[in-house]
C-alpha cells in the first residue's frame, strides 16, 4: 500500500488483514477503507442503465491509465492482463 502511494496510485487504506488454516488450505482476507460514492466498475459499465458510449470510453481510458501506472510501478497481478 505504501509503495503504491509513493507511485501516486490511488488506493484505499487497509483496515485489516487476517488469515486462518482450513484443512489443507489457508484462507486470507483483507478489508479496506470504505470509499463513499465508489462504484463497482462492472456495475457501472454493464448494469442498467448502461452509460452513454463517451462516458464508458472515459471510464475505460481511466482504467487503462491506472493499469499503465501499476505496470510502471512494477505491480503485477494474475487477474490484470496488460497485453
* Span 31-55, pLDDT tens digits: 999 888 888 888 888 887 888 889 8
CA–CA dist 17, 31 (Å, integer): 7
Query: pLDDT grade, residue 10 (50/70/90)?
Result: confident
Average pLDDT, the chain: 86
* Span 17-36, pLDDT tens digits: 999 998 999 999 999 998 88
C-alpha cell at 6: 509513493
Distances (CA, A) of 68 to 30, 50, 80: 24, 26, 11
Amino acid at each position: 500500500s505504501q509503495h503504491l502511494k509513493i507511485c501516486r496510485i490511488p488506493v484505499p487504506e487497509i483496515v485489516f488483514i487476517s488469515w486462518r488454516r482450513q484443512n489443507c488450505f489457508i484462507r486470507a482476507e483483507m478489508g479496506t477503507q470504505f470509499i463513499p460514492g465508489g462504484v463497482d466498475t462492472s456495475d457501472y459499465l454493464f448494469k442498467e442503465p448502461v452509460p452513454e458510449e463517451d462516458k464508458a470510453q472515459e471510464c475505460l481510458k481511466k482504467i487503462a491509465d491506472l493499469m499503465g501506472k501499476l505496470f510502471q510501478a512494477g505491480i503485477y497481478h494474475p487477474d490484470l492482463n496488460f497485453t
